[in-house]
Amino acid sequence: MEHWTSCKNKFDLSPDKFGELRSSNDLLTNPDALRQRVAEDGYLLLRGFLDKNKVRAARNELLVKMERNGSVDDDYLEREGVDLSLKSEVNTKSFREGDAVRALTQGGEMMAFYDQFFAEPARVLDFIWVRVVSIGAATGCHFDWVYMGRGSKKLHTSWTPLIDVPKSGGALAVLKGSHQFSELISTYGSIDVDDERSNKKFGGWYTQDPLEVQNQFGGQWQTTDFEVGDLLIFSMHTMHCSLDNRSSDSRIRLTLDTRYQPASEPADERWIGDNPIAHSPAAKRR
């Protein structure tokens, strides 16, 4: 029988505990309805929303850089459909500073979406999280607020697959209902991982076991088979994790996560500027 795991821990696949993410494409022309849907579900799934050519350009850029640093070879690039002549064209900047990765996440449909969603000009946090997830790896259950909660409370995450990411390839899962777990939000959900005063117990993840949080607070884990062009958006207090990458054809999971907020609101100083301080000593609070 099929089973899904995160950090090797099984999900409960009963229909009330595990299901499919619902698409919000039908609401795309109605920002009020989109905001209402996030308030209800804690997330938005937009199928085929991003320009596939831009997504593929970002994928190609990343894979060529991975070939340069020796993590994949030419055969892998060819299997992924990357034209090897690109190897001489792709810039030498770091993964997160790539032109195509930036064009996808810091302009175009992405920014236009958030301008509409916030009903005012949006800004992106400059730091881009590039996930290169090998077989067997996964992300544990957490709220993003604990990593980036020093600025706007309206901050939202975009999770962008650069290749098709089916459940078996390490898809992201969100715990529907978790953005209303007030007790969890006022405890774990209010810490700052870089602040020793608030972060005494947690490394950042709440747990590696999706059942632990579900048994304590309820909710339904939802995920899907993601395709290139899909976009998943969620709030800072929407619990999420990833499924283990168990790709049968040994595909490395390539995804980006990036963050957006109203430009008029303060931004978390760890993730902005040309050279964000991130979790370095400069970010620590005692």
Ligand X SMILES: O=C(O)CCC(=O)C(=O)O
Among 59, 123, 131, 251, binds ligand X (CB under 6 A): 131
Taking a C-beta distance cutoff of 8 angstroms, is the pair 44, 24 a contact?
Answer: yes
Q: Is 183 left (phi over 0), alpha (psi -120 to 50) or beta?
A: alpha
Site string for ligand X, 234-273 (x = CB under 6 A): ------x-x------------x-x----------------
- Tell me the CA distances in angstroms from 270 to 78, 114, 117, 134, 150, one per residue in order: 37, 21, 24, 27, 8
Residue 157 as a binder of ligand X (CB under 6 A): the answer is yes
Out of 114, 127, 145, 159, the only residue in the binding site for ligand X (CB under 6 A) is 159
Beta carbon of residue 170, minimum distance to ligand X (angstroms, whole number): 7
Which residues neighbour 207 within 8 Å (Cβ) at sequence distance 6 or greater?
A: 140, 141, 213
| Among 117-125, 131-139, 186-194, 208-216, the segment contacting ligand X (CB under 6 A) | 131-139
3-state secondary structure of 55: helix
> Minimum distance between the CB of residue 259 and ligand X, rounded to whole angstroms?
8
Measured distance CA(12)–CA(160) in Å, rounded: 26
- Compute the least distance from the CB of residue 144 to ligand X, in Å: 5
139 lies in the site for ligand X, by CB under 6 A: yes
Residue 217 beta carbon to ligand X: minimum distance, rounded to whole angstroms? 19
**Angstrom distance (rounded) from CA 238 to CA 203:** 18
Q: Which residues bind ligand X (CB under 6 A)?
A: 131, 133, 139, 144, 157, 159, 172, 240, 242, 255, 257
